[in-house]
Structure 1
Amino acid sequence: MMVQALAQVPRALGIPEIIKEILSYHAPQATNGANAQRGDTETILACALCCKAFSEIALDSLWYEMVDLVPLISILPGIKLLDNNLFIDGALHDDTCSRFWNYSRRIRRLIVPSRKSTERAIHVSVYSRLSLRFPGRAILPFLECLDYTLTGKGDTAKYAIEFPILLSASVRQLRVYNHARERMCKALLSFLIDKAFQFQHLTVEGPPPRYFVTHPLQLTSLRTLVLLRCQDTFPDLAHFFKQLPDLRNLTVQVTLEWVPSLTNKSIPTNLLPKLRFLSVEGPEEACLLLLQHISGEMLTSQRIVFNEIRMKRGRACLTELSRFTSLRKITLRYSSVEVTSVEALSILDPLLDFSHTQYLYLNSLPSWVRITNDTIRGIASGLKNLQTLHISYKHYQGAFKTTSQALESIGLSSLNLRELTLPIDLADLTIWSIPRSSCTSSLVSLDLVTSSGDRALISQFVEALFPKVERLTIKSN
Structure 2
Amino acid sequence: MSVLAAMELEYTPVMYMDTPANVPRCLLVTEILMEVLEHVTTSDQYGPPTLANLARTCRAFQAPAFSVLWRELTDLNPLIQCLPLDLWSQDRGSITLRRPMQMSDMDRFNYYAGFVRSLFTTSPMMDGLQQSLFSQLPHLYPPKISHERHWLSILPNLLHLRWIAETPNKLRMIYWLLTPCLKSLHVTSVCPEAHTRPFLNYLVDACSALEKLALCLYGAAITESVYLAVGRLVPKLKSLKSFSCNAPFAAQISPALSCLPHLEDLQLDFNNTATFVGSRSSFPTAQNPFPSLRRVNFAFNRLSECANMLDLLQHCILTHAYFSVREYADPESVGSFVADLSTKLRLSHDSLRHLCLLQNPARLPSDAILREEYIISGTALHPLRAFVALRHLRMHVQCGFDIDDSILTSLTSAWPGLRSLHFGVYKGLPRQTKITLGGLAFLVLNCPKLAHLSLPLDARLTSSYSQERQRVLDVVRRPEMPADKRITSIYVGESFIQNSAVVAAVLLDIFPNLEWVVGTEVDRVVWSGQRDKWHEVRLAVEKHQAERPLVDDDAVWQDDDEDEDEDEWEYGA
TM-score by length of 1: 0.77
Q: What value does the CA root-mean-square deviation take over the aligned residues?
A: 4.2
CA deviation after TM superposition for structure 1 residue 54, in Å: 3.5
Q: Deviations over 1:238-280 (max 9, x none)?
A: 2222222320011111148696946798976642121011111
Matched, 1:475 2:517: yes
List runs of 5+ in structure 1 lacking aligned partners.
1-6, 30-38
Matched, 1:98 2:92: no
1:316 alignment partner, one of 315, 336, 345: 336
2:31 alignment partner, one of 17, 29, 32: 17
Amino acid of the residue matched to residue 135 of structure 2? S
Write the distance in 1 (CA, Å) between the matches of 2:75 and 2:253.
33
Amino acid of the residue matched to residue 313 of structure 1? S
Alignment check: 8 A CA contact 2:391 2:417 kept: yes
1:273 corresponds in structure 2 to 291
- The aligned runs of 1:45-60 (5 Å cut-off) are 45-60=52-67
Higher relative strand content: 1
Alignment check: 8 A CA contact 2:265 2:295 kept: yes
1:209 alignment partner, one of 218, 227, 247: 227
Would the alpha carbon gap of residues 397 and 390 (structure 1) be closer, same or farther in structure 2, given more than 3 Å must change?
A: farther
SS at the partner of 2:318? coil
Amino acid of the residue matched to residue 138 of structure 2? S
Matched, 1:240 2:256: yes
- The aligned runs of 1:13-162 (5 Å cut-off) are 13-25=27-39, 27=41, 40-77=47-84, 79-81=87-89, 84-85=94-95, 87=97, 89-90=99-100, 92-93=102-103, 97-116=106-125, 120-123=129-132, 124-132=134-142, 135=146, 136=149, 137-152=152-167, 154-155=168-169, 159-160=171-172, 162=173
Alignment check: 8 A CA contact 1:175 1:202 kept: yes
Write the distance in 1 (CA, Å) between the matches of 2:391 and 2:425.
20
More deviation, 451-460/61-70: 451-460
Write the distance in 2 (CA, Å) between the matches of 1:140 and 1:272.
34
Would the alpha carbon gap of residues 333 and 344 (structure 1) be closer, same or farther in structure 2, given more than 3 Å must change?
A: farther
Would the alpha carbon gap of residues 117 and 176 (structure 1) be closer, same or farther in structure 2, given more than 3 Å must change?
A: closer
Would the alpha carbon gap of residues 266 and 316 (structure 1) be closer, same or farther in structure 2, given more than 3 Å must change?
A: farther
1:362 corresponds in structure 2 to 394
CA deviation after TM superposition for structure 1 residue 419, in Å: 0.6
Write the distance in 2 (CA, Å) between the matches of 1:264 and 1:117.
40
Write the distance in 1 (CA, Å) between the matches of 2:128 and 2:501.
51
Amino acid of the residue matched to residue 328 of structure 1? L
Matched, 1:396 2:427: yes
Would the alpha carbon gap of residues 370 and 296 (structure 1) be closer, same or farther in structure 2, given more than 3 Å must change?
A: same
- The aligned runs of 1:321-400 (5 Å cut-off) are 321-322=341-342, 323-324=344-345, 325-326=347-348, 327-329=351-353, 330-336=355-361, 339=368, 342-343=375-376, 347-349=380-382, 354-366=386-398, 368-373=400-405, 375-380=407-412, 383=414, 385=416, 387-396=418-427
Amino acid of the residue matched to residue 334 of structure 2? G
More deviation, 362-371/327-336: 362-371
Write the distance in 1 (CA, Å) between the matches of 2:207 and 2:339.
35
Would the alpha carbon gap of residues 348 and 298 (structure 1) be closer, same or farther in structure 2, given more than 3 Å must change?
A: closer
List runs of 5+ in structure 2 lacking aligned partners.
1-20, 520-573
Write the distance in 1 (CA, Å) between the matches of 2:335 and 2:55.
60
SS at the partner of 1:286? helix
1:35 corresponds in structure 2 to none
Write the distance in 2 (CA, Å) between the matches of 1:251 and 1:86.
43
Q: Deviations over 1:139-163 (max 9, x none)?
A: 21111111111113x43xx533x33
Write the distance in 2 (CA, Å) between the matches of 1:43 and 1:363.
47
Alignment check: 8 A CA contact 1:86 1:126 kept: no
Q: How many residues align?
A: 450
- The aligned runs of 1:417-428 (5 Å cut-off) are 417-419=448-450, 421-423=453-455
TM-score by length of 2: 0.66
SS at the partner of 2:244? strand
SS at the partner of 1:189? helix
Amino acid of the residue matched to residue 368 of structure 1? G
Amino acid of the residue matched to residue 153 of structure 2? A
CA deviation after TM superposition for structure 1 residue 52, in Å: 4.4
Amino acid of the residue matched to residue 117 of structure 2? R
Amino acid of the residue matched to residue 445 of structure 1? R
Q: Deviations over 1:42-98 (max 9, x none)?
A: 33333334554433322221111111113223434563246745658345345x543
Over the matched positions of the two proteins, sequence identity in percent amounts to 18
- The aligned runs of 1:150-229 (5 Å cut-off) are 150-152=165-167, 154-155=168-169, 159-160=171-172, 162-178=173-189, 180=190, 182=192, 185-195=196-206, 197-206=208-217, 209-214=227-232, 217-227=235-245, 229=246
Write the distance in 1 (CA, Å) between the matches of 2:288 and 2:375.
30
Q: Deviations over 1:337-380 (max 9, x none)?
A: 66566559764346x65143322422444362343345415514
1:291 corresponds in structure 2 to 310
CA deviation after TM superposition for structure 1 residue 476, in Å: 2.3
SS at the partner of 2:403? coil
Write the distance in 2 (CA, Å) between the matches of 1:65 and 1:19.
19
Write the distance in 2 (CA, Å) between the matches of 1:399 and 1:22.
58
Alignment check: 8 A CA contact 1:23 1:58 kept: yes
Q: Deviations over 1:194-237 (max 9, x none)?
A: 3353100111101553222245842210001111x3222x2222
Alignment check: 8 A CA contact 1:279 1:303 kept: yes
Alignment check: 8 A CA contact 1:138 1:167 kept: yes
Alignment check: 8 A CA contact 1:393 1:399 kept: no
Alignment check: 8 A CA contact 1:63 1:107 kept: yes
Amino acid of the residue matched to residue 307 of structure 1? R
1:3 corresponds in structure 2 to none
1:230 alignment partner, one of 247, 255, 273: 247
Write the distance in 2 (CA, Å) between the matches of 1:376 and 1:416.
11
Amino acid of the residue matched to residue 454 of structure 2? L
Write the distance in 2 (CA, Å) between the matches of 1:9 and 1:453.
69
Q: Deviations over 1:383-424 (max 9, x none)?
A: 355523412445539899845437459944873442151335
Amino acid of the residue matched to residue 62 of structure 1? L
Matched, 1:448 2:497: no
